[in-house]
Amino acid sequence: MADQVATVINRNVSENWTIHRVASELYVSVSLLKKKLKEENTSYTRILLECRMKKASELIVMQEGAVKKVAYQCGYSSVPYFISQFRKYYGYTPSRCRPDGNLFKK
C-alpha cells in the first residue's frame, strides 16, 4: 500500500495532497489506508515527506533555480518550512548541497 501511495503522490508531487484525496485515488477509505500503512510501519505523512524530499533533491541537483522555486515545485507554500523540513530530513540546508550533488546518497 505504501508503494501505491507513493505512486499517486509522485504523479504530481507539487499538488496539495491530502490523505483523503490519496485514499479516494486508491478507492479505499481513509481508515483502511491508515490501517494498511500502519501494518507496513509507515504513515501517510512519512510517505509524503519522502516523496517531496526525493523530488527536492533531484531538482536542486539538476537545476540552478532558486530554493523558493524548488519548494513550490515540491508542494510547499512556505519556503522557510521547506528549508526546515529539508534540513531535518537530510541534515543540511538545500543551498549547502547545491555545489555537490553527491550529498544525496540517503
For the question of whether the overall pTM of this predicted structure is more than 0.85, the answer is: yes
Q: Does position 13 have pLDDT exceeding 90, yes or no? A: yes
Q: Looking at 31-35, 85-89, 100-104, which range is the least confident one? A: 100-104
CA distances from 90 to 20, 49, 80 (A): 28, 12, 15
Give the pLDDT score at 106: 46
Q: Any idea which of 2-11, 23-32, 64-73, 85-94 has the lowest mean pLDDT?
A: 64-73
Amino acid at 78: S
Mean local confidence (pLDDT), 13-33: 97
| pLDDT at 104 exceeding the cut of 80 | no
Give residue limits of the domains in the chain: 2-103
Three-class SS of the chain: CHHHHHHHHHHCCCCCCCHHHHHHHCCCCHHHHHHHHHHCCCCHHHHHHHHHHHHHHHHHHHCCCCHHHHHHHCCCCCHHHHHHHHHHHHCCCHHHHCCCHHHCCC
Q: Which of 13-17, 22-26, 63-67, 71-75 has the lowest mean pLDDT?
A: 63-67
pLDDT band at 103 (very low <50, low <70, confident <90, very high): low
- 18/80 Cα distance (integer angstroms): 21
As assigned by CATH, the class of the 2-103 domain is mainly alpha
Is 26's pLDDT higher than 70?
yes
